[in-house]
Amino acid sequence: MGNDGGSIPTRRELVKEAARSPSTAQVKEAQRELQEHFWTTCPLSHKPLTRPIVSDCVGNLYNKDAILQFLLPGDESEGISSKADCEAILCGRVKGLRDVVELKFEVDSERRASATDKNEYREGWICPVTAKQLGPNVKSVYLVPCGHVFSEEAIRQLKGDKCLQCNESYSEDNIIPILPPKDADKERLMARGQKLAEQGLTHSLKKVPGLKKRKKNANGDSATPIESDGTPGGSKPPAASQSQLHNGASSRSNTSTPTPGASNGIKNASTAMLTARVLEEENERKRRRKMMGTNDNLDSLFTKDSRDGKPKGSDFMTRGYTIPAADVRR
């Protein structure tokens, strides 16, 4: 019965035991192993995490040199996975160094001193307040923008608004959990990233590079880009300016000379002045040609018939010497 053609085994014979869902202890153990892996290994370079270490907006940890190599131009970079694999891991969250925060860990000096083999020693980090070892067994957080790392218990108990290490102020939204296992924490961090992006800020609370200058309205509730003439783009001109444009348009229709302020509603002042100047010169040339057509001095150069006022067949340009009839007969 070896499936050699003589017999075909059934599913009952192949599957001896039914599949069972993992128990709670097994799920926690698998989650702890996964947390320990990400606490010790960079997902981009697959190397041990060594300082300097940075974190993105969802609390993942990376080696800073791996992020720098990923941001370098080129298809492939040495020391890290392919660009496509790195993009799949980062999911577009890191586009520059402003999208990450460098973490400042408190080194466990006692562990370093008690290490027997210096070659196999791995740096350990502790909370500066509770002295607990930070890792997969302790919930840890860091503050933005300073980057100091503490245990969640210390931040929850102290309930302050300034960092205990550098005395820099922070808000509750800027307390970022490291490698959060809960989906609720991940959704909160993603919502925070979207809110900062709408405000033109990055994860490190620095401004997004390349944005246009913006100017707040009088109420200060919104920001609109500034046009070249100093007026906010997309906003309608005030009633006074509309009436001025209307009056300028009517005056231009009545008179041949346009005014600089009424140039078909051109917003740019320099363009409006240049357009008005060109139209004024054109009207001046027309006026001169009209005056030249009615000038008496110019009319005196031409001979006209006194009866109908039409010019004769010859004038001072076509008038030439005529041979007398007696000379022709000779």
Averaged pLDDT for residues 188-201: 93
Using pLDDT thresholds of 50, 70 and 90, give the confidence band for residue 97: very high
Using pLDDT thresholds of 50, 70 and 90, give the confidence band for residue 4: low
> Greater confidence, 208 or 2?
208
Task: Average the pLDDT over each of 97-101, 149-153, 209-213 and give the range with the smallest value.
Answer: 209-213
Q: Using alpha carbons, select from 99, 112, 100, 153 the residue that is nearest to residue 131.
A: 153
Averaged pLDDT for residues 264-272: 66
What is the pLDDT, as a whole number, of residue 267? 62
Using pLDDT thresholds of 50, 70 and 90, give the confidence band for residue 193: very high
Mark 241-260 as b/e (b = at least 16 C-beta within 10 Å): eeeebeebeeebeeeeebbe
Task: Average the pLDDT over each of 10-14, 141-145, 254-258, 264-268 and give the range with the smallest value.
Answer: 254-258
Using pLDDT thresholds of 50, 70 and 90, give the confidence band for residue 300: low
Give ranges for CATH 3.30.40.10 in the chain. 25-198
C-alpha angle with apex 40: 34 to 43, nearest 5 degrees? Answer: 75
pLDDT at 149 exceeding the cut of 70: yes
Residue type, 273: M
Averaged pLDDT for residues 106-126: 73
CATH topology of domain 25-198: Herpes Virus-1 (3.30.40)
pLDDT at 130 exceeding the cut of 60: yes
> Greater confidence, 48 or 285?
48
Per-residue tokens: 245: 């444009």
**Beta-bridge partners for 123:** none
What is the pLDDT, as a whole number, of residue 174? 94
Averaged pLDDT for residues 112-130: 74
pTM over 0.85: no
pLDDT at 258 exceeding the cut of 50: no
Question: Residue 44 to residues 60, 73, 205: CA-CA distances in angstroms?
Answer: 11, 16, 24
* Contacts with 162 (C-beta within 8 Å, 6 or more apart), sequence order: 168, 169, 170
Residue 279 neighbours by CB distance under 10 Å: 16
Residue 105 neighbours by CB distance under 10 Å: 20
Angle between helices 83-90 and 64-71 (to 10 degrees): 120
Task: Average the pLDDT over each of 27-31, 36-40, 109-113, 227-231 and give the range with the smallest value.
Answer: 227-231
pLDDT at 101 exceeding the cut of 60: yes
**Beta-bridge partners for 133:** 126
